[in-house]
């Protein structure tokens, strides 16, 4: 097998990504106790997996990325295989190629085992967790869904709802216990395991912790191009998304196995019927990332600014090391409508006109109410398709210090 042929010699390497205002740094490697590689998904092997050395698990993961008969991988193969395996974590080709160049320590255009397993940046850490975790061997959590009796007329949150007394299972039990179940539903054990896998394979959760990380919230009307602006910033070295935990409920929605069923029956309801569960997964993912002091990007609209005010206050208390930024992205209404029509035609993502209008109105009110709660607000105009315009940046000081006046 590829695993058997790979050289087991170890060598050191480090990654030092470029930084601007958001100051992204890689974290130090964490040690772990020795144990054998997992062979199945039994409880016994789950314990072995959690205790096994990172480099052993990284070796196993690297073997899964290789083509038959090969012991290295080039840049095009790296990008292609991650896309095929749906493990690109929402990163663009530009970002994946940038990751590859950092990994390719000797600059020969090929990624070797030593280069891969001695790196612990967010993407490599996520690949190891995704490819070597017990659930990855048979995709068991994903294969059970959608349920054969699935009812497309109800939300996934209601269909897979379970009583609270069944408790919690999986990787994120402690976080699940902290959530508000007056708002959220509990889920069947099988669905909880599925959610864990969705989070693990879609969000970069570790490997780039900093002493003063940023929580970046994008806001703006639906169709303003918030994601495109962040992608532009990443491509132009202002904010490297390969070192950011991107929390995007829409991404969770589109990857649910029930999503195609909803789309076939009721395109305009698909987003609504996956909203509650995608938000539940997003909340778990954000807590995981912030527990690891990752830079976090939450894609939203600030429409529910009262909830954001409470959340920012909670973040200040639980994770006081975080600085909070809002990137407010705007565009002319005509441009927004054009983009929304194109999105619906190409992706099937329908946006209710009333919801779109509410998202627009919520930005102005949200910024006014939330300004005292954050450290930075950047106002960005995305009226064209090439280069967004940074209109102005506000640095917020809420200390009450009269010496600043």
Within a domain: 111: yes
The reply to whether 117 and 246 lie within a common domain is no
Indicate if the pLDDT at residue 10 is higher than 50. no
Higher pLDDT, 37 or 314: 314
The reply to whether 110 and 225 lie within a common domain is no
How many distinct structural domains can be found in the chain? Answer: 2
Q: Is 236 helix (H, G, I), strand (E, B) or coil?
A: coil
Give the separation between CA 36 and CA 48, rounded to whole angstroms.
Answer: 6
Is the CB of residue 300 less than 8 Å from the CB of residue 217? yes
What is the pLDDT, as a whole number, of residue 231?
A: 92
Within a domain: 142: no
Instruction: Report the Cα 292 to chain-centroid distance in Å.
Output: 13
Within a domain: 58: yes
Is the CB of residue 242 less than 8 Å from the CB of residue 204? yes
What is the pLDDT, as a whole number, of residue 352?
A: 67
Is the CB of residue 130 less than 8 Å from the CB of residue 141? no
Query: What is the DSSP secondary structure assignment for residue 223, as one 8-state letter?
Result: T
Give the separation between CA 79 and CA 77, rounded to whole angstroms.
Answer: 6
Boundary (domain end) residue, out of 115, 136, 157: 136
Give the separation between CA 326 and CA 301, rounded to whole angstroms.
Answer: 10
Mean pLDDT rounded to a whole number for the chain: 83
Within a domain: 397: yes
Residue 256 is part of which domain span?
202-404
Q: Which of 67-71, 138-142, 396-400 has the lowest mean pLDDT?
A: 138-142
Record the tokens describing residue 400, joined without a space: 């009450």
Give the separation between CA 279 and CA 349, rounded to whole angstroms.
Answer: 17
What is the pLDDT, as a whole number, of residue 52?
A: 54
The reply to whether 132 and 221 lie within a common domain is no
* pLDDT per residue as tens digits for the range 39-98: 444 444 444 444 358 888 999 999 999 999 999 999 999 999 999 999 999 999 999 999
Is the CB of residue 225 less than 8 Å from the CB of residue 243? no
Boundary (domain end) residue, out of 102, 136, 170: 136
For residue 190, give every residue at least 6 positions away whose Cβ sits within 8 Å of its Cβ, in sequence order, or none. Answer: 141, 144, 145
Indicate if the pLDDT at residue 33 is higher than 70. no
The reply to whether 247 and 358 lie within a common domain is yes
The reply to whether 102 and 222 lie within a common domain is no
> What's phi and psi for 273, nearest 5 deg?
-80, -10
Average pLDDT of the residues in 302-329: 94
Q: In what order do the strands lie in the sheet with 323-330?
A: 244-247, 295-299, 214-219, 323-330, 376-381, 389-395
Give the separation between CA 281 and CA 196, rounded to whole angstroms.
Answer: 8
* pLDDT per residue as tens digits for the range 85-134: 999 999 999 999 999 999 999 999 999 999 999 898 999 999 999 998 76
Indicate if the pLDDT at residue 37 is higher than 60. no
Q: Which of 138-142, 220-224, 311-315 has the lowest mean pLDDT?
A: 138-142
Is the CB of residue 362 less than 8 Å from the CB of residue 311? no
Q: Is 291 helix (H, G, I), strand (E, B) or coil?
A: helix
Average pLDDT of the residues in 370-377: 95
The reply to whether 209 and 352 lie within a common domain is yes
Closest CA to 226 of 360, 320, 119: 360
The reply to whether 249 and 365 lie within a common domain is yes
The reply to whether 216 and 365 lie within a common domain is yes
Instruction: Tell me the pTM.
Output: 0.80
The reply to whether 246 and 334 lie within a common domain is yes
Within a domain: 318: yes
Boundary (domain end) residue, out of 106, 136, 166: 136
Is the CB of residue 145 less than 8 Å from the CB of residue 200? no
Indicate if the pLDDT at residue 282 is higher than 90. yes
The reply to whether 226 and 369 lie within a common domain is yes
Give whole-number Cα distances, 190 to 160, 178, 186, 249, 260, in Å.
Answer: 9, 20, 12, 20, 20
Query: Packing angle between helix 189-200 and helix 122-132, nearest 10 degrees?
Result: 150
| Terminal alpha carbon distance of the chain | 68
Is the CB of residue 281 less than 8 Å from the CB of residue 195? yes
Higher pLDDT, 12 or 380: 380
Higher pLDDT, 46 or 33: 46
Query: Packing angle between helix 75-84 and helix 93-103, nearest 10 degrees?
Result: 130
Higher pLDDT, 384 or 41: 384
What is the pLDDT, as a whole number, of residue 22?
A: 42
Query: What is the DSSP secondary structure assignment for residue 335, as one 8-state letter?
Result: H
The reply to whether 206 and 132 lie within a common domain is no
Q: Residue 294 belongs to a domain with what CATH number? A: 3.40.50.300
The reply to whether 94 and 218 lie within a common domain is no
Within a domain: 75: yes
Higher pLDDT, 206 or 222: 206
Within a domain: 155: no
Helices (DSSP H) in 148-258: which residue ranges?
156-159, 173-178, 189-200, 226-235, 249-255
Q: Residue 118 belongs to a domain with what CATH number? A: 1.10.238.10
Within a domain: 33: yes
């Amino acid at each position: 097998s590829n695993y058997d042929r790979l050289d087991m010699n170890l060598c050191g390497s480090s990654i030092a990504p470029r930084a601007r205002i958001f100051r992204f740094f890689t974290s130090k490697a964490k040690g772990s106790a020795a144990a054998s590689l997992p062979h199945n998904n039994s409880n016994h092997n789950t314990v072995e997996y959690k205790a096994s050395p990172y480099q052993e698990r990284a070796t196993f993961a690297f073997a899964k990325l290789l083509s038959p008969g090969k012991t290295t991988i080039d840049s095009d193969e790296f990008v292609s295989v991650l896309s095929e395996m749906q493990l690109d974590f929402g990163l663009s080709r530009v970002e994946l190629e940038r990751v590859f160049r950092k990994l390719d320590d000797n600059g020969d255009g090929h990624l070797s085992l030593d280069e891969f397993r001695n790196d612990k940046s967010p993407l490599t850490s996520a690949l190891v967790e995704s490819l070597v975790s017990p659930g990855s061997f048979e995709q068991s959590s994903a294969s059970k869904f959608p349920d054969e009796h699935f009812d497309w007329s109800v939300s996934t949150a209601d269909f897979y709802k379970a009583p609270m007394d069944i408790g919690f299972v999986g990787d994120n039990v402690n976080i699940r216990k902290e959530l508000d179940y007056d708002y959220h539903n509990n889920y069947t054990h099988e669905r909880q395991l599925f959610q864990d896998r969705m989070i693990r394979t879609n969000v970069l959760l570790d490997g780039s912790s900093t002493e003063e990380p940023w929580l970046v919230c994008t806001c703006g009307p639906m169709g303003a191009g918030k994601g495109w602006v962040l992608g532009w910033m990443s491509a132009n070295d202002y904010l490297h998304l390969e070192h950011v935990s991107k929390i995007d409920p829409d991404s969770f929605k589109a990857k649910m196995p029930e999503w195609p069923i909803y789309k076939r029956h009721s395109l305009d309801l698909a987003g609504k019927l996956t909203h509650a569960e995608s938000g539940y997964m997003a909340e778990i993912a954000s807590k995981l990332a912030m527990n690891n002091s990752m830079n976090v990007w939450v894609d939203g609209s600030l429409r529910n600014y009262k909830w954001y005010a409470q959340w920012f206050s909670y973040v200040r208390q639980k994770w006081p090391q975080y600085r909070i930024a809002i990137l407010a992205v705007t565009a002319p209404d005509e441009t927004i409508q054009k983009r929304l029509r194109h999105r619906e035609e190409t992706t099937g993502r329908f946006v209710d006109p009333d919801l779109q209008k509410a998202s627009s109105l919520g930005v102005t009110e949200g910024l006014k109410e939330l300004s005292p709660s954050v450290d930075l607000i950047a106002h960005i105009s995305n009226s064209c398709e090439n280069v967004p315009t940074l209109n102005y940046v506000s640095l917020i000081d809420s200390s009450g210090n009269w010496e600043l006046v």
